[in-house]
Amino acid sequence: MKKIFIFLSLLAGIGCSSPKTVPVQSDFEALKPGKLREFADNSGKWKMLDDFIHPVNWSVASGKSALLFPSGKEKTLEFVPTTPQECYSLGFTARRLVNKGPFSVDVLCHDGKKWNTAGHVGDEMQTGFTDYIFPLTQRVEKVRFVVTTPSGSGVIIDDFFMLRNSPMQIDSVSVTHHQVPVLKGKATNNLGLITVYTQGVKEVRKMTELAIELTEPTRLEDIESMALYYSGVSARMDGAKLLASAPTPAKSLAFACDQELRHGKNHFWISAKLKNNADILHKIKVNVTSVKLDGDAFDFSENKKHQPQRLGIAIKQAGEDGVPIYRIPGLATTNKGTLIAVYDVRRDVIKNMSSDLPNPVDVGMQRSEDGGRTWSPMQVVMDMGNDDEEGAFGNGIGDPAILVDKTTGTIWVMATWSHGDNAWAGSGKGLTKKETGQLILVKSDDDGKTWSKPINITRQVKKPDWHYLLQGPGRGITMKDGTIVFAAQYQDGTKKRIPFSTIIYSKDHGKTWKIENGPLANTTEAQVVELEPGTLMLNMRDNRNRGEKGDKNGRAIFITKDLGKTWTEHPTSHGALKEPTCMASLHKQILGGREVLYFSNPDSKYSRDHITIKASKDFGKTWKKENQVLLDELRGAGYSCLTDVGEKYVGILYESSQAHLIYQLIPVSEILN
């Protein structure tokens, strides 16, 4: 990320007619995720009158934390400022979780004698963050938010403030360029963020022009149009307002607009829409040259040191095909060179405000016969049907892993079926579908065009005493001797349901399957490669990394030479490959007789951001900085899967900050330097 600031003034406060008044602002940044009855910050005291308020970090307007109101009728949060306030405007940013009603937010203010309505928001509130500012004419001693939402929904509020009615002043203007993918199939793409900081609500200032230039290695023929958007306080493009567009791209563009600024942060976005035939091996670079506020120009012409952004394809976006959420990528290359992508098709949010199993989930599949440049429409290859049997619940199947048997050409997909509440938290001991999650396979013998009916192998591999057994997810491998291997995970038979990573394998091309015990407790999602004939490396997500943020943070890595009967810890375990406790991908590619390992994950100990591909030229002993490529620095769900696309390229399907599932094609030369 490259950020350039121009500071105009640093204001400690804004004058007001009453010397007793002080600014009020709450961004809830000090709150940790959970639930609270009450809390206090620098502005005053907050109290939920009839339920819990939930600080969350998974959906915020700015910063790291916001407040989630629970669903229900007239849920009330009361705020008492440290000092009673006069001559103020009141504002906040909010979004609703789902579109269904009934829905309302009423803001009430108490003047010392009675409650007065300051503002009302009804069904017009958007699912994207929106700013709301209401004028106040009375003294304010208390504020109440009264929220009504339907079951399974809620509203998130962030960036609350009460301000003196003073003239607006500009504090600073900044330009930020994030290293994020620019995607075909997506209407908007983040090519630059301009943030204008202001104070005051009277005599409002305006953004009147923004000028940019498109520089090398940009190819204008890849671009259909350029545009400028405004998202207010929200540091997300979701729901942003279009201000100006350039349907015919040029190397230099000036966007004229007339956008009023709000108090606090104002976010403007440079966006591009790519042509359908844009080459995903290309890159694009935008420089902001100047910003005009009411005609006053701010020069950014020297802001040129950021890196170009890579192109890619939005494989699946929220709401596509009527599906709210797509997750859990798997990717493999067939013997014919076709790419097969699989993933969760999460059709509804029913249980525990989650889309994961045991909710209604299917496994989707798409094919590409040109290295990932174009993809077939989605085909559902694993769907356990609508089971009306009592207790079946969502009857979902998901968390897929894909494997190509290099000997026979058969493509296998493995997933876990939850008949009833038999997923991570609810699955029990036993072997039947009513007792425990089921391990299911489908296969294709025609390069992924058609698929078999489900094959249940639970009784072959699950120990009855285990609570749960499921695959990687991601991808499996074919060993030199023809054995096919999936990474797997299980929860043991103790009350604590301790998870272990392991492997599931077949020595007869999928007719029968076997499993062994895992090497290390508290490990889950894993990936496997064959370092040399008969020697497997298992690279595992480790739950200890949730608390370990020091030198011992890192993927757990073990070696087996006897298909999991015995294990040895690798020297790089817990240290070489840091993680925020998230699924990762491990893949081996043979380049002219030389073997290279590739690893991808969020390259962070703290959050699922900075999706990075790393390469090792010495069988995983070292992962040098010069052999790393950053793909997406912003936060997403973080799962990824790698495959080889010939000898010149690596393909990656991952959960991006810019779309639920995206594909990028990376030249091997850029990774290996």
CA-CA distances (angstroms) from residue 618 to 376, 394, 613, 625?
Answer: 37, 46, 16, 14
Chain segment 145-171, per-residue pLDDT in tens:
999 998 878 899 999 988 877 889 998
Supply the mean pLDDT for the chain: 92
Domain limits at 134? 17-164
Q: Is there a domain that residue 76 lies in?
A: yes
* pLDDT for residue 17: 31
Which residue among 266, 297, 312 closes a domain?
312
* pLDDT for residue 2: 62
Q: Is there a domain that residue 269 lies in?
A: yes
Q: Which of 494, 601, 606, 628 is nearest to 541 (CA)?
A: 601
Residue 11 has pLDDT above 50, yes or no: no
Q: Is there a domain that residue 54 lies in?
A: yes
Question: Residue 195: how many CA atoms within 13 Å on its side-chain side?
Answer: 19
Given pLDDT bands bounded at 50, 70 and 90, which one contains residue 14? very low
The reply to whether 633 belongs to the active site is: no
Q: Which of 314-328, 381-395, 407-421, 655-669 has the lowest mean pLDDT?
A: 381-395
Sign of the C-alpha dihedral, residues 316, 320, 321, 326? Answer: positive
CA-CA distance, 519 to 500, in Å (whole number)? Answer: 7
Based on the domain organization, do 72 and 205 belong to the same domain? Answer: no
Based on the domain organization, do 174 and 308 belong to the same domain? Answer: yes
* pLDDT for residue 139: 85
The C-alpha torsion from 387 through 325 and 68 to 103, rounded to 10°, is -70
Produce one character per residue of 306-345: b if its CB has 16 or more CB atoms within 10 Å, e if not: bebbbbbbbbbbeebeebebbbbbbbbbbeeebbbbbbbb
* pLDDT for residue 133: 85
Based on the domain organization, do 54 and 141 belong to the same domain? Answer: yes
Based on the domain organization, do 189 and 301 belong to the same domain? Answer: yes
Q: Is there a domain that residue 536 lies in?
A: no
- Indicate the DSSP class of residue 210: E
* pLDDT for residue 9: 37
Q: Quick check: helix, strand or coil at residue 71?
A: coil
Q: Is there a domain that residue 444 lies in?
A: no
Based on the domain organization, do 119 and 197 belong to the same domain? Answer: no
Chain segment 598-647, per-residue pLDDT in tens:
999 999 999 999 999 999 999 999 999 999 999 999 999 999 999 999 99
- Tokens encoding 673: 């330097």
Residue 450 has pLDDT above 80, yes or no: yes
Number of structural domains (the chain) is: 2
Burial class from Cβ neighbours inside 10 Å (0-12, 13-18, 19+) for residue 208 reads: middle
CA-CA distance, 37 to 54, in Å (whole number)? Answer: 9
Q: Which of 44-58, 159-173, 199-213, 549-563 has the lowest mean pLDDT?
A: 159-173
CATH classification at residue 264: 2.60.40.1290
* pLDDT for residue 154: 87
Based on the domain organization, do 143 and 276 belong to the same domain? Answer: no
* pLDDT for residue 16: 31
Residue 19 has pLDDT above 70, yes or no: no
- Tokens encoding 601: 């994950």
Given pLDDT bands bounded at 50, 70 and 90, which one contains residue 62? confident
Given pLDDT bands bounded at 50, 70 and 90, which one contains residue 1? low
- To 5 degrees, how large is the angle CA 251–CA 283–CA 249? 25
Burial class from Cβ neighbours inside 10 Å (0-12, 13-18, 19+) for residue 419 reads: buried
Contacts of 334 (CB under 8 A, 6+ apart): 340, 404, 409, 411, 447, 448
Q: What mean pLDDT is predicted for residues 639-658?
A: 98
Q: Which of 113, 38, 23 is nearest to 77 (CA)?
A: 38
Percent of the chain scoring above 90 in pLDDT: 76
* pLDDT for residue 4: 60
CA-CA distance, 505 to 500, in Å (whole number)? Answer: 16
Which residue among 281, 312, 343 closes a domain?
312
Residue 214 has pLDDT above 60, yes or no: yes
Based on the domain organization, do 188 and 139 belong to the same domain? Answer: no
Based on the domain organization, do 237 and 215 belong to the same domain? Answer: yes
Which residue among 257, 280, 312 closes a domain?
312
Phi and psi at residue 635, in whole multiples of 5°?
-80, 135
Contacts of 281 (CB under 8 A, 6+ apart): 311, 665, 667
Q: What mean pLDDT is predicted for residues 288-302?
A: 91
Burial class from Cβ neighbours inside 10 Å (0-12, 13-18, 19+) for residue 220 reads: exposed
Residue 295 has pLDDT above 70, yes or no: yes
3-state secondary structure 246-259: ECCCCCEEEEEEEE
* pLDDT for residue 391: 65
- To 5 degrees, how large is the angle CA 371–CA 660–CA 185? 55
CA-CA distance, 589 to 580, in Å (whole number)? Answer: 26
Based on the domain organization, do 183 and 57 belong to the same domain? Answer: no
Residue matched to tokens 């009460």: 162
Lateral strand order in the sheet of 72-81: 38-41, 44-48, 72-81, 142-149, 104-110, 115-121
Given pLDDT bands bounded at 50, 70 and 90, which one contains residue 345? very high
CA-CA distance, 345 to 566, in Å (whole number)? Answer: 37
Based on the domain organization, do 150 and 173 belong to the same domain? Answer: no
Q: Is there a domain that residue 69 lies in?
A: yes
Burial class from Cβ neighbours inside 10 Å (0-12, 13-18, 19+) for residue 436 reads: buried
The DSSP H or E segment spanning 94 is: strand 88-96
Q: What mean pLDDT is predicted for residues 487-512?
A: 98
Based on the domain organization, do 76 and 182 belong to the same domain? Answer: no
Based on the domain organization, do 173 and 102 belong to the same domain? Answer: no
Q: Which of 168, 157, 103 is nearest to 129 (CA)?
A: 157
Give the amino acid at 276: N
**Do residues 314 and 659 lie in contact, with contact meaning Cβ atoms separated by under 8 Å?**
yes
Q: CA gyration radius for the chain?
A: 27
**Do residues 574 and 553 lie in contact, with contact meaning Cβ atoms separated by under 8 Å?**
yes
The DSSP H or E segment spanning 669 is: helix 668-672
Whether omega for the bond prior to residue 217 falls within 30 degrees of 0, making it cis, is: yes
* pLDDT for residue 21: 40
**Do residues 68 and 54 lie in contact, with contact meaning Cβ atoms separated by under 8 Å?**
yes
CATH classification at residue 152: 2.60.120.260
Q: Is there a domain that residue 207 lies in?
A: yes
Q: Is there a domain that residue 581 lies in?
A: no
**Do residues 591 and 600 lie in contact, with contact meaning Cβ atoms separated by under 8 Å?**
no
Produce one character per residue of 572-597: b if its CB has 16 or more CB atoms within 10 Å, e if not: bbbebbbbbbbbbbbbbbeeeeebbb
From the candidates 525, 530, 579, 655, give the one annotated as an active-site residue: 525
The answer for 493, left when phi > 0, alpha when psi is -120 to 50, beta otherwise, is alpha
- Tokens encoding 425: 């938290």
Higher pLDDT, 62 or 467: 467
Q: What mean pLDDT is predicted for residues 462-487?
A: 98
Length, in residues, of the chain = 673
